Amino acid sequence: MPGLPAKLYFPDILESWPWPRRINSYFAEVKVESDKWIEGFRAFDARGVKAFNKCNFGLLSSIAYPIASREHLRTGCDLMNLFFVFDDITDEADVETVQELANNVMDALRHPHRPRPSGESVVGEIARQFWARAIRTASPTSMKRFIDTFDAYVESVVDQAKDRSDDRIRTVDNYMELRRLTIGGKPSFALLELGMDLPDGVIEHPVMEKLTEIALDLIILGNDIYSYNKEQAANDDAHNIVTVIMYHHHETLSGAMDWIEREMRRLVDQFGRLMRVEPFWPEEFDDQVYEYINGLGNWVRANDSWSFESGRYFGNDGLRVQKERTIVLSPRSK
């Protein structure tokens, strides 16, 4: 693979994105509650605690769901924390272990009032408590959509574990197909519906499905370019679009970044054009559909803002990177 340049430049793809950064007014208090809840399980070692504190998932949720009620914001914060725990314990696990954990989580979500068996990983009880609280204020349609999409998410993490075991670097198309699931976007989008009752015909309409896919792809591509330096330094970058393009397209890092920039700009343009299509839903759902589509657009902004404001990818240097758009590449571990 071609050598790496000393610096990496991040294009500001969202400079004209019509959704500005906003934050939920309940952020401070709900973040404290959710973090205290997850910390009570003592699911992390010292390394995990440090990584968790850097991530500030309460901030992500509060930017992603800026108009959510207090109860629904708590659901969002708890979900981001559940994602982190599941990712943390499956990150280096073998395929059989990841499949078992996936089964435990889905059983807990499908039976939130049933005690978890002794000896099971703590993630089962975390999932159970999360969903038992969430369903108190969730609409029936959002609950069904969440369960279906979270099931697809955990199974995709199993597939990722298989790729890791086989040292497989997927093609661009195959990578994006899997990454649209492992990113956890669709379960997160289901929370936009917690107070809605959108029928399947609206969510599954081809235009809405395309808007959803574009939002996912913008989040994926943004996430992967921001996380690339951290991952390549740890020699853990096989599940990253930058590596995929460099490997299969025989590109330099600069060439891969140029490819991603062109693709993201194309997606931004396509999202805007789809926003202008004639309504494809019954008039009675106008307010809910517009709120949902705006929620998709806002999620793209939220992921971008959080990437710089939290310490997950750039430590204490995030706001400088957001302004100057460059970082110095870290040496790759041997």
What are the pLDDT digits (tens) for 111-161?
999 999 999 999 999 999 999 999 999 999 999 999 999 999 999 999 999
Residue 330 has pLDDT above 80, yes or no: yes
> Buried (b) or exposed (e) across 213-252, using 16+ Cβ within 10 A?
bbbbbbbbbbbbbbbbbbbbeeebbbbbbbbbbbbeeebb
**pLDDT the model gives residue 4:** 53
274: pLDDT confidence band, cut at 50, 70 and 90?
A: very high
Residue 2 has pLDDT above 80, yes or no: no
**pLDDT the model gives residue 234:** 92
Instruction: Write down the pTM of the prediction.
Output: 0.95
What are the pLDDT digits (tens) for 15-69?
999 999 999 999 999 999 999 999 999 998 888 899 999 999 999 999 999 999 9
**What value does the mean pLDDT take over residues 249-261?**
96
What are the pLDDT digits (tens) for 300-329?
999 999 999 999 999 999 999 999 999 999
**pLDDT the model gives residue 6:** 78
Burial of 278 (0-12, 13-18, 19+ CB in 10 A): exposed
What are the pLDDT digits (tens) for 179-223?
999 999 999 999 999 999 999 999 999 999 999 999 999 999 999
3: pLDDT confidence band, cut at 50, 70 and 90?
A: low
